[in-house]
Amino acid sequence: MALLKSERLSPEKECEALINRNSEYRLSGDCGKFFRCAITGKACLGREIRDDDDQSSQFFSRGHAVINKEEIKKCPSYGVTKEELPAIIRRKKEQEAEEIINKL
């Protein structure tokens, strides 16, 4: 059985901070590691898990991750450029390290 892809990935990224862009079908529980933010490490605000092709069965829930183009615009990181991204990630990691050090 060939797995269908309800929505093809666009050639351009929806956001430069998105990592693990993959919209292929898999078990729904396995979709959580896709469309994550490189800055926060969490799921993208615009990520949705869907089963447009109705591939779920009685025993297995299947789905694929896609980006809701309206919801992603609500993210404070939306619109960051590829050039700005490394500095933002460095600053975020330095802040996290400082918080851990202060707790010691």
Q: Say if residue 63 is exposed, middle or buried (CB neighbours under 10 Å; 0-12, 13-18, 19+).
A: buried
Residue 5, pLDDT above cutoff 70: no
pLDDT tens profile 63-92: 888 889 889 989 988 888 889 999 999 999
Q: What is the pTM of this model?
A: 0.72
* pLDDT more than 70, % of the chain: 88
Residue 95: what pLDDT? 94
Burial (CB < 10 A; 0-12, 13-18, 19+), residue 103, is: exposed
